Structure 1
Amino acid sequence: MDLLLQTAGSLVAILALAGLAWWMKLGGEPKLDSEAAVRRAAGEVEDGFDPVAAGFDGKAAIVRDAQGRIMVIKRHGNRFAGRVLGPQAKAGVWQDPGHSALKVDSGERRFGTVFLDIPAPETWADAINRVNERRDA
């Protein structure tokens, strides 16, 4: 009986804390759904990175700065992770009937591939693939 009361009390306490966190809007999933959110995330990934162009879909973003560097950002837990793309990066357009998205391979196995549902994915894919050309010259 003692164990049952302890278990019930613990369950009530856990539910009360979860309700308080929900009411205070703590936790949740961060989104890349505005220029401000994308700019803030890019600055967190690399201090001083100042995007001049961006594409984002809420879950991931791709940004370019004035020097032509391109960064891809994705959600990692309740934070963001990103990479400034180098010569090993590759991009393409993922096609589905009536839909296309940008597919970015950062060239880092641990970072993985990122898919972005953004307008004009071909333009971003070309820009990413040109990163290789600039470095090879």
Structure 2
Amino acid sequence: MGQLIQMGGSVAAILALAFICARLGLGGDVRIGSEDEARQLARDALCGFEPEELALDRAGIGALLRDRQGRVMLLRRHGAHFAARLLDNHASARLDRNFLTLGTDERWFGQVTLDLGDKAQSWASSLRHLGTNRA
């Protein structure tokens, strides 16, 4: 009988933790749902970055955004949030049909492969100009 009570208490505790996690929004499948959301994430990541062009990954796991100054920001999912980095060169860019694999010189940021569809080729081409306009 003691084991049954202990097991019931354990199940109740697990259900309580699951309920708390659900109410806090923990453990969800985080994705960028729209271009407007991607723009807002970029603005939140870097003050003064006002996206003019963007390419959103088809699965919503990341995005590429360009502002009026020609700066390019990479947004990628990082756990339950999104991380953003400005790209300063194209050394870590690799195109494979509709997929563009990007990374930074920052080891901890890692790489991400974005499915950009028709936009992959034009974005890969435009990234070749990064870092060349600096004085």
State if a TM-score over 0.5 links the two structures: yes
SS of aligned partner of 1:42 = helix
Corresponding residue for residue 82 of structure 2: 80
Corresponding residue for residue 130 of structure 1: 129
Corresponding residue for residue 113 of structure 1: 111
Corresponding residue for residue 90 of structure 1: 92
1:17-32 aligned within 5 A:
17-19=17-19, 21-22=21-22, 24=23, 26-27=25-26, 28-32=28-32
**Runs of 5+ consecutive residues of structure 1 not aligned to the other structure:** none
**Runs of 5+ consecutive residues of structure 2 not aligned to the other structure:** none
1:25-44 aligned within 5 A:
26-27=25-26, 28-44=28-44
Identity value in percent: 37
Name the amino acid aligned to 2:95: V
Structure 1 contact 45–80 (Cα < 8 Å) conserved = no
Structure 2 contact 52–67 (Cα < 8 Å) conserved = yes
| Aligned mates of 1:87, 1:94 — CA distance in 2 | 18
Q: CA RMSD in A?
A: 2.3
| Aligned mates of 1:38, 1:47 — CA distance in 2 | 14
SS of aligned partner of 1:80 = strand
| Aligned mates of 1:44, 1:125 — CA distance in 2 | 25
